[in-house]
Amino acid sequence: MKRLENLVLGWRRFSLVGLASFGLVTAGLILGAAVDMAWLILFALGVFGPVVLREVGLLKDRDEFQRQAAFRAGYRAYLVGGVFLAGVTIARSWGYANLEHDQFPVHPFLTVMVMVYFLSYLTDYWGARKAAFRILLAFGFLWLVFVVLAAERVIGLLMGSLVVLPFFVLAITCRFWPRISGGLLVALSLFAFYFFHLYRILSGNMGAFGVILVLFLPLLYSGIALLREKPDAEE
């Protein structure tokens, strides 16, 4: 009888979210290997789904100790994954002056990891409004330099300013109306994703990846950070 009680208590330690994640991961790996690699979407849902839901505040199934353990694990995963990807990039690119020869380039993934890490660090350090202000200004000036150097005529400069202007305008408005500016940033990032055909990244287009890195990502990240900030947060 006591053994049965211990077994029941042991099963109670596993949350429904954890069991669901384990089931999705297992099913994704088995179906991906035996049927079609498209079934790895189940693996991705099981691994990243709960993490995303916790990050956006829709899933609150962990206590403070579990959250701290998850943060430490994520930081170690960032370190190990970053070192591994950097090592693979160096090893496969040794003796070359560019990264185009690699059939499976890993540098885009490494760049995204580093970008998200530093954007997240700046937001936690400065707060959402100050961080968004600095991030938008930095990438706005980056785009301004690119537009000035690439424009051959006045009309090209004017068209390029349509990309630069939202960075500077929303950098100012986010200090006074963070929620409204955050919503506009998210909407603008989604518009840019389709307007510039950034979905081409799914077919391996590196030009789309560059635009995602310097346009879509800072806009989307800043918008989400502003929307998640508490109304009474102190700057």
Residue pLDDT, tens place only, 16-27 = 887 888 888 888
DSSP 201: G
Question: Is the pLDDT at 234 greater than 60, yes or no?
Answer: no
Question: Is the pLDDT at 103 greater than 70, yes or no?
Answer: no
Give the count of beta carbons closer than 10 Å to the beta carbon of residue 185: 27
Whether residue 33 lies inside any domain: the answer is yes
Q: How do the residues of the chain divide into helix, strand and coil, expressed in percent and rounded to 5?
A: 80, 0, 20
Q: How far apart are the first and last CA of the chain?
A: 58
pLDDT of amino acid 155: 65
Q: Give residue 224's domain range.
A: 106-228
Residue 9 banded pLDDT, cuts 50, 70, 90: very low
Whether residue 101 lies inside any domain: the answer is no
Question: Is the pLDDT at 95 greater than 80, yes or no?
Answer: no
Residue 6 banded pLDDT, cuts 50, 70, 90: very low
Q: Are residues 215 and 116 in the same domain?
A: yes
Give the count of beta carbons closer than 10 Å to the beta carbon of residue 167: 24
Give the count of beta carbons closer than 10 Å to the beta carbon of residue 48: 12
Q: Are residues 208 and 132 in the same domain?
A: yes
CA dist 185 and 179 (Å) reads: 10
pLDDT, average across residues 189-214? 82
Question: Is the pLDDT at 121 greater than 90, yes or no?
Answer: no
Domain count, the chain: 2
pLDDT, average across residues 136-154? 79
Q: 149-189, pLDDT tens digit by residue?
A: 766 666 666 676 777 888 899 999 998 999 999 999 999 99
Q: Are residues 118 and 207 in the same domain?
A: yes
Mean pLDDT, the chain, rounded, equals: 79
Q: Are residues 223 and 128 in the same domain?
A: yes
CA dist 86 → 59, 217, 230 (Å): 33, 21, 37
Give the count of beta carbons closer than 10 Å to the beta carbon of residue 229: 20
Whether residue 94 lies inside any domain: the answer is no
CA dist 223 and 217 (Å) reads: 10
